[in-house]
Structures are given as C-alpha cells and as structure tokens.
Structure 1
Amino acid sequence: MESFLNENFGGVKAKNSSEEALRRWRKLCGVVKNPKRRFRFTANLSKRSEAEAMKRTNLEKLRVAVLVSKAALQFIQGIKLHSEYVVPEEVSAAGFEICADELGSIIEGHDFKKLNMHGGVDGIVDKLSTSVTHGLTTSGDNLKLRQQIYGINRFTEGKAKSFWAFVWEACQDTTLLILALCAFVSLTVGIVMEGWPKGAHDGLGIVASILLVVFVTATSDYRQSLQFKDLDSEKKKISIQVTRDAFRQKISIYDLLPGDVVHLAMGDQVPADGLFINGFSLLINESSLTGESEPVNVNSENPFLLSGTKVQDGSCKMLVTTVGMRTQWGKLMATLVKEEMMNPLQVKLNGVAAIIGNIGLFFAVVTFAVLSQGLLSKKYHQMSF
C-alpha cells in the first residue's frame, strides 16, 4: 500500500505541488461525498493555467510599454537638448557660446547629457573662449566682459548692524526693563509726594544708570562686531594657483572668472563650481555641502567639482564654470538665516550675565519682601499704640 501511494501520489506535497500531482489526487478523492466542499479552500486548477498565461502576456505587454516609453523620453529629451538651448544675444555678442545659467544647470544637476551636448569638457572650454594649456588672456577687455556676462566670485553678505541697532538690543534686557519700571514708579510717586524737582531725584538717578548701562553695552558690542568683521575679511583673503596668459600665477579667489584653469592640491578648498580637466587620485570631501563624510572620487567619468568642498587627496586642473551666488555654495548661503550667530565667547558671557542677573533679582525680591514686612510691622505697631 505504501509503495502504491509513493508510486502514484509521491508528488503530492504540503506546499508547491505540481499541477499533475494535484489533479491525480483530486481525481482519487472525487469519490467522497460532496467533493466541492472538500476542495473549497484550494486553488482552481482548471483556471490556473489560464492565469499563468494571462500573467505572462501582461508582463510582456508591460515590458514593451516600458521600453517604448523609455525610448520616447530619450527621443524627446534629445530633441529638447538640441533644440531648446539658444545662446542669448548678449553672450554671443561678447564672444561666448554658453550662458551662466546653462553652466549652472550642468553643474547643479550633474547633467551628463547637457555636458555631452555641448561637447564635453573640451566643448565647454571652446565655448568659454579659453584654453586648457594657456588659460585666460588678460589683454584688452576680456576680463571685464566675463565679469559682465558671468558675474564675480563674491557672495552677498548681510548688512552690518548699526550702532543704534545694538542700543535697541541692549534695551531689551529684562533687568533693565524692570529698572525702567521702577524708575517710572519712583518718578510718579516722588513727584506726587514731594513735588518737582525734589521728588524726582531718585527716579532720575535710576534713569541715568539705565542709560549708562545701555550705551556702554552697545558700544562694547558694536566695537566687537567691527573687530570680528575685520578678522573675517582677513580669513577670506585666500590665494589660488591659476594659469593665465600661459603662466602659472597666484590670484585671489575673488578674482576668479569662468574659463580660468585652477590648480588644486591636497588641502585646497574648491573656490568655485567647475569641471575636472586632468589629474590623479582626486578625492573631494563634500561634507560641507551634503553632510556625507565619505569622499567622492572625481575623474573624467565624474568631472563635477562644487564650490566650498575640499581636496582630501590627489591633485588636478579644474575649469571654472560658475562663480559667486550661482555656485552651489552661494545658493546654500542664500538659504541660510541672515541673522548673525553669536560666537562661543558671547554665548558664555551672556550665560554668566543671565546667572548674575537672576541672583541679583532674587536678592532684590527678598530685600523688598523683608523691607515691606518691616514697614507693615512698624505701621501695625504705630496703629496699636
């Protein structure tokens, strides 16, 4: 019996049995009463093959539709890339064949299609009227034209605070506001009780103290802001190696223009957005922009260099394409809050001042409570007698 079952129904398993084995098993069990009830929770074998055939047909149709859609998109994008870009008149009049916005879109989107449409890195070099070996030419009005078309390599800075802005900030101190309220009460009570000017001495003394504290604090903060501004401007005076007029020379990063050929080495900061020309073992740390700690390998297959990043290893020659607020670093700076952040020393000093103010306020409240209690007790004893 066991051999008979194994021979005829050995293919029947608890799961994933073949369709033929299931048919033989159901045919054998067809003698039971009400076979429909027996197999009501199992698959419909008569329709399984139809479902499989329909599934294969649908998958094939879906594959064809995806391929057709992909080909159509590539065709449309190819037409757009070749037909939509038109060189602006002012750019072509200046002797260039590509505008700043087009260069910015290539770098921002890491757009290989646009880059290849313009002829790759060599094509961008030609359209910027520069040379990989000789760099920019400084003769005539070449540099001024580039500045007019592509801008300068400077970032928009927030307007410096005036002295009166620091005076207004100093007036917002909680302790000074409490003293101002006390001065008002003292002036009102003194003038009512003792008349002018004898009753106003105490109140005017408090007002003079408040003004002295406000102007001393504002003057100190204003001078400190000027010193930090000078230090920041000194810190930003960075020189970079470029090739101009076929000579390698040092210039300020603020003088960089699209078309400059920059020489980058390990430890240098990328001064503007650009494209990799040649080099070896170039690793770029993009954590300042993306937050990613892993360095990015930049080469001819991935030629995009972003402003604000740092060269972690290797060296290269770079073609500057975008400068100033059109760079990725410039766009990031534009989105940041324009309010000036306090330095760590200011934070600590403000914390110490807040603690001292709270302690003084506590003792002032205690002193007021004790004096009030003594005054009330004295009045009570006088009324008793």
Structure 2
Amino acid sequence: NQNFDVKAKHSSEEALEKWRNLCGVVKNPKRRFRFTANLSKRYEAAAMRRTNQEKLRIAVLVSKAAFQFISGVAPSEYTVPEEVKAAGFDICADELGSIVESHDVKKLKFHGGVDGLACKLKASPTEGLSTTDASHLSQRQDLFGINKFAESELKSFWLFVWEALQDMTLMILGVCAFVSLIVGIATEGWPKGSHDGLGIVASILFVVFVTATSDYRQSLQFRDLDKEKKKITVQVTRNGFRQKMSIYELLPGDVVHLGIGDQVPADGLFLSGFSVVIDESSLTGESEPVMVNAENPFLLSGTKVQDGSCKMMVTTVGMRTQWGKLMATLTEGGDDETPLQ
C-alpha cells in the first residue's frame, strides 16, 4: 500500500496495472488473482459494451430517420388479431411497440392519441387499471407479456468442476499421478505399486470438488443478491388509488408516477406533468430532452428522468421494450460485471 497505493476497493487502474506487472510471476496465478480485477478483460468488456451500445444507438437513429421519412404516408388499416379482440382489447402488443419505439406520431393519431390507446387497452388515464376482475388481469398478462427480461442460465455444478480442473498445478499433479501409477505398478505390481499414484489422484479430486463447491455456492449467493437488487418499486395508480408496486407487476394500461432520478420501468406514453427532461443516453448515447407534450409523448424503457415529474401510461413491457432488446444484446455480447480472472 505504501509503495503502490493499492486499496482493497476502487483502486486506480494505473496502480492495479503496476502491481499486477510486478506480481505477474507467481505460483498458481489463476487462484491467486481470482478476486482481483482482470484489467485486460475489463478493457475488452468495456470496449464490447461501447460497441454494442453504438450499434444500438445507430439502429435507433436509423429507425427514427426511416419512420420520419415515411411519416408522410398514411398508416395502413390496422386489423386487430382475433385473440386480442376476443379478450376485449382493440390493439395488440406489436402495434403498441411499433408506435412508441418509432415515435410514430402519425400512427398514434390514427389510433386516437393517448386517450384512444387507453380506451383500446380498456384502461383509464386517471383511474388506472381495475383489479376487480382477476381473470381480466391474467388475460392482459397473457396477451401483452410480463415486465421481466430473460436471465442468463445458472452454470451447473459440473461446469465449475470442469473449470477447477483447468488449474495448471492440478494438471501437473495429474501427470505426476499417471507417471507414479505406471512406474509403481511396473516395479511393485498391483495394488501395492498404485498407492502413491492413487493418493495423488484422491488429493486432486478433493481439491477440485472443494473448489467447485465453493465457487458454485458463491454463484448462488451472487444470484440471490442480484435478485434483491432488482426488487424495484414504483408508484402506480390502480382503481383510482396510488400505491407502491413492483416493476415486475406492471401491465399495459397502468398509470405510473415518475420523479427526478426515476428510471422508466417500461415503454409508455406521457399523460401529464411539467418540465420533464428524459435522459436517453442509455439507448442513443445522447441526452434528449422531451418537450412533454402531444408532439412527443413517447417514453422508452430504461431512460431516466433528469428533471420534473410526470405520469405515464404503460404500453409495452418485458422483452418487447426497447430496453429489453438492449439488455438482450448486452447479454449476448458481454455482461456489465467487472471481469475477474
């Protein structure tokens, strides 16, 4: 610490790089540095995130430009799918998503504006959804989805066993055990000549299973902690009353109240508010102020409220949202966690 200023947490990258270079030649570095940030992988992950974000930003901007180009063309006649009509709704999830993601004001007007969409969703901009009929909420969930994203699968215990076997020291011991078995059996016969070799094998298996069990239990604990971090609540109006609700319970038609610092929990449309500025840098790479009004009422999931407060009506949830697609892209290209060696 005196010479390199390496702190237990939040050390500078320069200090970590200098320390790792001086401590590079050590016995079993994979185990020694397993709780230390791998700077090269951190740089690779950061570069990959920037690349994915830039690709998505370009895709969003291109889609906006394309829809602006064709905005002069009147929307085609929309046909409500039979299953949606049978459930009592007059618009489907795909149509709602296309309206909000593309900021398509013309199509929004075609459906009667925000009030028209609320009517087609059988929701009230002031009273919110009605929870008196549980089956109706269940139908809404089946048709429009739930506000959850696909999570990466938990690695199996045997995968941790395989990773533990990749340790160089254990590989060398494995070779020694093999040689010991061959030499011992050749000189002293079976089973006396196999004792040393089998002892080494037993030691290797013991170390592997202890390491794999420890890593597997840690992965379970991290997964539980991650679930706790994701328990986010928002203020929602249902049955005319304002109440706290998990973001996972949101459905199209819900009326959500947002303030400074809140992250938009789903795609939606602005209902009312004042001086609202939305930060869309997580999607486009640039901050874009929303002039809270009939011309631009679109709020994309994952963006943050920088200033003001407002009410929004949820239109799209889960993987159908722009934020859900971004999370899927980042999951395929690399996660946000600091890589460990």
TM-score band w.r.t. shorter chain: 0.7 to 0.9
| Aligned-pair identity (%) | 69
Deviation for aligned residue 1:197: 2.2
Contact 1:242 1:260 in 2 (8 A): yes
Does residue 110 of structure 1 match 2:112?
no
Correspondent of 1:87 among 80, 89, 94: 80
Instruction: Report the 3-state secondary structure (helix = DSSP H, G, I; strand = E; otherwise coil) of the residue aligned with 1:297.
Output: coil
**Aligned mates of 1:223, 1:122 — CA distance in 2:** 51
Could you list the runs of 5+ residues in structure 2 that have no partner in the other structure? Answer: 1-69
Does residue 195 of structure 1 match 2:189?
yes
Deviation for aligned residue 1:139: 1.1
Contact 1:82 1:117 in 2 (8 A): no
CA deviations over 1:217-254 (Å, ceiling 9, x no partner): 10111110111111111111111101111111111111
Deviation for aligned residue 1:267: 1.2
**Aligned mates of 2:305, 2:148 — CA distance in 1:** 21
Instruction: Report the 3-state secondary structure (helix = DSSP H, G, I; strand = E; otherwise coil) of the residue aligned with 1:190.
Output: helix
Contact 1:298 1:304 in 2 (8 A): no
**Aligned mates of 1:174, 1:335 — CA distance in 2:** 34
Deviation for aligned residue 1:288: 2.2
Contact 1:276 1:298 in 2 (8 A): no
Instruction: Report the 3-state secondary structure (helix = DSSP H, G, I; strand = E; otherwise coil) of the residue aligned with 1:269.
Output: coil
**Aligned mates of 1:247, 1:222 — CA distance in 2:** 44
Larger % of helix: which?
1
**Aligned mates of 2:282, 2:76 — CA distance in 1:** 35
Could you list the runs of 5+ residues in structure 1 that have no partner in the other structure? Answer: 1-72, 351-385
**Aligned mates of 1:200, 1:341 — CA distance in 2:** 46
Instruction: Report the 3-state secondary structure (helix = DSSP H, G, I; strand = E; otherwise coil) of the residue aligned with 1:316.
Output: strand
- The equivalent of 2:8 in structure 1 is none
TM-score when scaled to structure 1? 0.66
**Aligned mates of 1:342, 1:266 — CA distance in 2:** 24
**Aligned mates of 2:337, 2:146 — CA distance in 1:** 29
Deviation for aligned residue 1:343: 5.0
Deviation for aligned residue 1:194: 2.1
Contact 2:100 2:268 in 1 (8 A): yes
Q: Aligned runs of 1:230-241 on 2, under 5 Å?
A: 230-241=224-235
Correspondent of 2:284 among 284, 290, 296: 290
**Aligned mates of 2:335, 2:262 — CA distance in 1:** 26
Correspondent of 2:253 among 250, 253, 259: 259
- The equivalent of 2:32 in structure 1 is none
- The equivalent of 1:249 in structure 2 is 243
CA deviations over 1:42-99 (Å, ceiling 9, x no partner): xxxxxxxxxxxxxxxxxxxxxxxxxxxxxxx777x32xx242x200111111111110
**Aligned mates of 1:308, 1:265 — CA distance in 2:** 14
Higher RCO (C-alpha under 8 Å, 6+ residues apart): 2
Deviates more, 1:326-335 or 1:264-273: 326-335
Deviation for aligned residue 1:273: 0.5
Instruction: Report the 3-state secondary structure (helix = DSSP H, G, I; strand = E; otherwise coil) of the residue aligned with 1:279.
Output: strand
Q: Pick closer, same or farther for the CA change 1:342–1:156 going to 2, 3 Å.
A: closer
Question: Which structure has the greater CA radius of gyration?
Answer: 1
The CA RMSD over aligned residues, in Å, is 2.1
**Aligned mates of 2:310, 2:333 — CA distance in 1:** 37
**Aligned mates of 2:127, 2:188 — CA distance in 1:** 88
Correspondent of 2:163 among 162, 169, 179: 169
Correspondent of 2:124 among 131, 142, 157: 131
**Aligned mates of 1:242, 1:100 — CA distance in 2:** 20
**Aligned mates of 1:319, 1:299 — CA distance in 2:** 13
Aligned letter for 1:135?
Answer: G
Deviation for aligned residue 1:172: 2.0
Instruction: Report the 3-state secondary structure (helix = DSSP H, G, I; strand = E; otherwise coil) of the residue aligned with 2:292.
Output: coil
Instruction: Report the 3-state secondary structure (helix = DSSP H, G, I; strand = E; otherwise coil) of the residue aligned with 2:311.
Output: strand
Aligned residue pairs, count: 271
Contact 2:71 2:104 in 1 (8 A): no
**Aligned mates of 2:334, 2:280 — CA distance in 1:** 24
Deviation for aligned residue 1:193: 2.0
Instruction: Report the 3-state secondary structure (helix = DSSP H, G, I; strand = E; otherwise coil) of the residue aligned with 2:115.
Output: helix
**Aligned mates of 1:298, 1:146 — CA distance in 2:** 31
Q: Pick closer, same or farther for the CA change 1:298–1:201 going to 2, 3 Å.
A: farther
Q: Pick closer, same or farther for the CA change 1:342–1:105 going to 2, 3 Å.
A: closer
Q: Aligned runs of 1:1-20 on 2, under 5 Å?
A: none
TM-score when scaled to structure 2? 0.75
**Aligned mates of 1:104, 1:341 — CA distance in 2:** 26
CA deviations over 1:306-327 (Å, ceiling 9, x no partner): 1112111110000100001101
Contact 1:285 1:296 in 2 (8 A): yes
